[in-house]
Amino acid sequence: EPEVTQTPSHQVTQMGQEVILRCVPISNHLYFYWYRQILGQKVEFLVSFYNNEISEKSEIFDDQFSVERPDGSNFTLKIRSTKLEDSAMYFCASRQGLNYGYTFGSGTRLTVV
Amino acid sequence: KNEVEQSPQNLTAQEGEFITINCSYSVGISALHWLQQHPGGGIVSLFMLSSGKKKHGRLIATINIQEKHSSLHITASHPRDSAVYICAVRSAIQGAQKLVFGQGTRLTINP
């Protein structure tokens, strides 16, 4: 079964550092998403990406965040200057179309110290 | 504001019992998703519903659009069903992409 692959599985970074979280969505999927889950809380939407541009973003997704699909296979989330409150599990997801289900990656646990 | 509420928050049952998890939401939706999250954190999609009922193995999902309510049922529950079950909805507003998640229901099935 096709998978969404996320790397790394766990990243520890110092406050103020830049991090890039990487995702390889399923190859024929057209819609891409980043979600995050702070420990003990609900999963929250960050951003959706379609046709090489952001289609929707949440209030969380401020100027410190950016997404890219640089080469047609990878989908990255960059946090420019990490804060302690960015510590969370970050999930990438993709789907073939709006009437299809989502496939989630296994997540990247980001710890900011 | 689109709210998604699940009940119960925690559920412990014996192997073989019939399980029901409920989800209520506050706005018109284009689709509702049931997801499973295991202790390691990974999320697996179980169902996507916009009307009626779907069945996959021992899992059944139903939705009542008029009442803004969905249920997930597990028949003949097994310890391997132990996980967090999450309901998430996509708004019917044109162009809406995001899923809004419930807080999850932690299910524990004892042997």
**Banded pLDDT at A107 (limits 50, 70, 90):** very high
A89 CB within 8 Å of a chain B CB: yes
B40 CB within 8 Å of a chain A CB: yes
SS3 B99: strand
Mean pLDDT of B77-87: 97
pLDDT in tens, A64-86: 999 999 887 899 999 999 999 99
**A33 to chain B, minimum CA–CA distance in Å?**
8
Asked if residues A51 and A29 have their Cβ atoms less than 8 Å apart, the reply is: no
- What lies within 8 Å, CB to CB, of A19 at 6+ separation is A11, A13, A78, A79, A82, A110
The yes-or-no verdict on residue B1 having pLDDT over 90 is: no
pLDDT in tens, B18-72: 999 999 999 889 999 999 998 888 899 999 999 999 999 999 999 999 999 999 9
Alpha-carbon separation of residue A50 from A8, A38, A67, B87 (angstroms): 24, 25, 11, 24
**A43 to chain B, minimum CA–CA distance in Å?**
6
- B97/A33 CB distance under 8 A: yes
Chain A contact set for B45 (CB, 8 A): 101-104
The yes-or-no verdict on residue B2 having pLDDT over 80 is: no
- Give the integer Cα–Cα distance in Å for B101 and B41: 15
A44 CB within 8 Å of a chain B CB: yes
Between B38 and A14, residue with greater pLDDT: A14
Which residue bears the tokens 């019992």?
B17
- Give the integer Cα–Cα distance in Å for A63 and B55: 43
pLDDT > 70: percent of chain A = 100
**Banded pLDDT at A98 (limits 50, 70, 90):** confident
Q: For residue A99, what pLDDT is reported?
A: 86
**A48 to chain B, minimum CA–CA distance in Å?**
7
- A56/B98 CB distance under 8 A: yes
- Give the integer Cα–Cα distance in Å for A56 and A105: 20
Q: For residue A87, what pLDDT is reported?
A: 98
- A43/B45 CB distance under 8 A: no
Q: What is the DSSP letter of A71?
A: S
pLDDT in tens, A53-67: 999 999 999 999 999
